[in-house]
Amino acid sequence: MTDIFNAFYAQSGGVTAVINASACGVIETARTCTDKIGTVFAGKNGILGALKEELIDTSLESAQTIAALRYTPGGAFGSCRYRLPDSEESNTLYQRIIAVFKAHNIRYFFYNGGGDSMDTAHKIGLMSERLDYPVTCIGIPKTIDNDLAATDSCPGFGSAAKYIATSVKEAALDVISMQETSTKIFVMEVMGRNAGWLAASAALAMNNKSDAPHILLFPEVDFSRELFLARVEETVENCGYCVIVAAEGIRYADGTFLSASRSTDAFGNVQLGGTAPILARMIKDALGYKYHWCVADYLQRSARHLASTIDVEQAYAVGKSAVEIAIAGQNRVMTSVIREPEETFKWKTGSVPLEMVANVVMKLPDNFIATDGFHITDTCRAYLAPLIQGEDIPPFKDGVPDYALFKGTMAEKKLADFKF
């Protein structure tokens, strides 16, 4: 008789419109593998759920509720930003995690997140063997930033890109209407600390070369105030208005962020935000144009009503694949998306070693950025366009989306409380 072990699934980092579709893929697939996997426990607030022994028993949720995860945004089980130390620094946290896994007969660990999360999954995989309780650790990719290595695209990005392109297209029509006597400048700030994928996606709003957005600002390109203002002025003279999309992580040649604050997050990253108003005021002071600006912020990563069908399908598929490769014997790998080398867009899932992905940032390639640094190339457009295709509209009730509601029943604790 085959041993049956339980699984631990958790969500990590900034959530997306489709991260729960990956959770759906994991749980629904596990429920078909009852000869291998027993209960799927979901960690409350990511890896903190393991440390605190706060395990949500998903077996108590109905099939209908789990299916509703596919179209529900946010993180159904709670997420976190928490970095585990290197094993050489402290074994205490790892010992606690393995103790919780052992107490609940957990031998499968599925971690749904970005580069830092893949680092966590890799560390736990290595430490579980050192602590003589081997756990199969599988990473599931997720990030709207699209900056994970070794995967063609990251679930979460396509829907955020679709939202940004749509929002820019609609806002531009507003600006066009008012530009004769009022607003001539519109600046939209999107996420992207080190990579400009989201800023690049705004270009998908264009049908013609003269359409908005006229200027894209990427972290990969050093910001020059002089060149920027000259391009803004030229655009207004030619088009009558100018729409700009800027990544939050744009910086000067010396590496200084335009919008850096003194605060840092749990991973030691400088908190960003405020790039759009800085740029808008810069234009006003130098050129005198009336402006409006916005920060897409959480809207770009939670807009499930505008999700890309391709994105939803890929998110579900990498969750499903995670379970399949785990029971097939793969370990310390991340599920990935592979684009087929064909004219018609086709893709499949694969897997890559976690060590290839952990803490690696995939930036926009040079051949994706126009030679002047202010826009994308046709090569970039050809890569981006398929990822926003299709409309996967959630069910609506009383005029608003009708998303999943969970019991969230916790498994009974078996260990003493742990302080960390």
Q: Do 357 and 139 meet the contact criterion of CB atoms below 8 Å apart? A: yes
- Residue 1's contacts (CB-CB under 8 Å, 6 or more residues apart) are none
Which 3 state secondary structure label does DSSP give 9? strand
Q: What is the CA radius of gyration of the chain?
A: 23
Rounded to whole angstroms, the Cα distance separating 184 from 252 reads 25
Give me the sheet containing 136-141, strands edge to edge: 55-57, 37-43, 5-11, 106-113, 136-141, 333-339, 347-353
Reading the block at residue 260, the tokens are 């850096």
Reading the block at residue 8, the tokens are 């631990």
Reading the block at residue 351, the tokens are 């897997």
Residue with tokens 């810069």: 282
- 213: preceding bond cis by omega (within 30 degrees): yes
Looking at 328-403, list the stretches that DSSP marks H as alpha helix, in order from N- to C-terminal side.
378-384
Rounded to whole angstroms, the Cα distance separating 229 from 288 reads 11
Q: Do 159 and 16 meet the contact criterion of CB atoms below 8 Å apart? A: yes
What b/e sequence results for 246-269 when a residue is b if at least 16 CB atoms lie within 10 Å of its CB, and e otherwise?
bbbbbbeeeeebbbbeeeeeeeee
- Residue 143's contacts (CB-CB under 8 Å, 6 or more residues apart) are 13, 14, 16, 113, 114, 115, 154, 156, 157
Exposed, middle or buried: residue 307 (CB in 10 Å: 0-12, 13-18, 19+)? buried
Q: Which of 116, 145, 147, 311 is catalytic?
A: 145
* H/E run at residue 157: helix 157-178
Reading the block at residue 284, the tokens are 């006003």
Task: Report the relative pairing of strands 242-247 and 291-295 from DSSP bridges.
Answer: unpaired
| Active site (annotated) includes residue 145 | yes
- Residues carrying an active site annotation: 145
